[in-house]
């Protein structure tokens, strides 16, 4: 119906601003990357429900990690997704709606630390060894295994650093790469697990 911004009513413009949808057809969507931390019941079923939510509702799922927390009944997931404001709002509310989720927090927008672990195996020769070690040094990587012709490194850092490292190793002949995907945590003191949200200080799950 409305093909030009001038034919939109003020109310339609307000709505499009709120959802992050383009005002004109053909304009690019305002999609943003969001990192979301989720505390879930530490069961395989809980993990599956979260992942199924993304596939069933067609939400973008860029990366997902899961690991036990200091409470063995609780796992923490770090989810990276993209979408406009309407979609991200939906992702957060749908995650909260799951009975297995204990807490959902959108880290994007606040200050947070994001890290990824990478294991990388590369072939080396007497000639290339020094150059490879120099690069590893600069990236503050660690050698975790060595054979007469291969070396395996461990590297942590933000995704951009991992990707830069992989790019530099490529000419040497990468044999294998294993990446953990991102884990993230909000900066500043306090923990929403035990301090800020008293509703979570509850008897453990059955």
Partner 1 sequence: MRDVRDLAWTIKAAYYIARTGRPGPVVVDLPKDILLAKAPFSYPEEVHLRGYRLPGPPDAALIREAAAMIAASRRPLLYVGGGTITANAAELLTQLARRARIPLTTTLHGLGAFPEDDPLALGMLGMHGTWYANQAVQHADLIIAVGARFDDRVTGKLDSWAPYAKIIHIDIDPSCISKNVPADCAIVGDVREVLAELLPLVEPKDTKEWLAKIETWRAECPLIYEQGDGKLRAQYVIERLRAKTGGHAVVVSDVGQHQMWTAQYFRFLHPRSHITSGGLGTMGFALPASIGAAFGLRGRKDVPIICISGDGGFVMNAQELGVAAAHRLPIKVAVINNNFLGMVRQWQELFHENRFSHTDLSDTNPDFVKLAEAYHCVGLRASRPEEVDAVLEEAWKVTDRPVVIDFQVVKEELVFPMVPAGASTSEMITKRLTPNAFV
Report CA torsion sign: 45, 195, 184, 134: negative
Which residues of the chain form contacts with partner 1 (CB under 8 A)? 1-2, 8-9, 11-12, 14-15, 18-19, 40-41, 86, 89-90, 93-94, 96-102, 199-200, 202-203, 205-206
Query: If you ran DSSP here, which 8-state letter would residue 204 be given?
Result: P
Burial tier of 6 (Cβ tally within 10 Å: 0-12, 13-18, 19+): exposed
Of 101, 35, 92, nearest to 63 (Cα)? 35
Q: Smallest distance, Å, CB 55 to partner 1? A: 17
* DSSP for residue 29: P
Cα 50 to Cα 45, 79, 129, 138, distances in angstroms:
9, 10, 44, 38
135 token code pair = 């690069």
Residue with Cβ nearer partner 1 (85 or 154): 85
- Looking at beta carbons only, is 94 or 159 nearer to partner 1? 94
Q: How far is the CB of 100 from partner 1 (least distance, A)?
A: 6
Minimum distance from CB of 92 to partner 1 (Å)? 9
Q: Give the span between the Cα atoms of 160 and 179, in whole angstroms.
A: 13
Kindly tell me which of 188 and 204 has the beta carbon lying closer to partner 1: 204
95 versus 155: smaller Cβ distance to partner 1: 95
Distance CA 76, CA 69 (A): 6
At its nearest, how many Å lie between partner 1 and the CB of residue 35?
A: 20
* Closest CA relative to residue 2, chosen from 19, 26, 29: 26
Instruction: Give whichever of 78 and 101 is closer to partner 1, judged by the CB atom.
Output: 101
Tell the smallest beta-carbon distance from residue 180 to partner 1 (Å). Answer: 26
Which residue, 14 or 130, is less far from partner 1 as judged by CB? 14
Minimal distance, residue 49 CB to partner 1, in Å: 11
């Amino acid at each position: 119906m409305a093909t030009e911004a001038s034919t939109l009513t003020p109310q339609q413009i307000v709505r499009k601003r709120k959802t992050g949808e383009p005002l004109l057809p053909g304009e690019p969507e305002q999609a943003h990357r969001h990192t979301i931390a989720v505390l879930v019941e530490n069961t395989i079923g809980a993990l599956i429900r979260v992942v199924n939510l993304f596939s069933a509702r067609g939400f973008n799922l860029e990366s997902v990690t899961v690991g036990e927390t200091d409470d063995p009944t609780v796992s923490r997931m770090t989810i990276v997704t993209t979408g406009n404001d309407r979609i991200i709002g939906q992702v957060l509310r749908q995650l909260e709606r799951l009975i297995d989720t204990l807490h959902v927090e959108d880290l994007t927008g606040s200050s947070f630390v994001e890290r990824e672990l990478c294991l990388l195996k590369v072939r080396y020769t007497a000639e290339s060894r020094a150059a490879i070690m120099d690069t590893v040094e600069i990236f503050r990587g660690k050698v975790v295994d060595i054979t007469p012709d291969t070396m395996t490194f461990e590297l942590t850092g933000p995704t951009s650093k991992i990707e830069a490292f992989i790019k530099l190793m490529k000419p040497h002949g990468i044999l294998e790469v294993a990446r953990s995907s991102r884990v993230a945590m909000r900066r500043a003191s306090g923990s929403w697990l035990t301090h800020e949200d008293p509703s979570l200080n509850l008897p453990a799950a059955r």
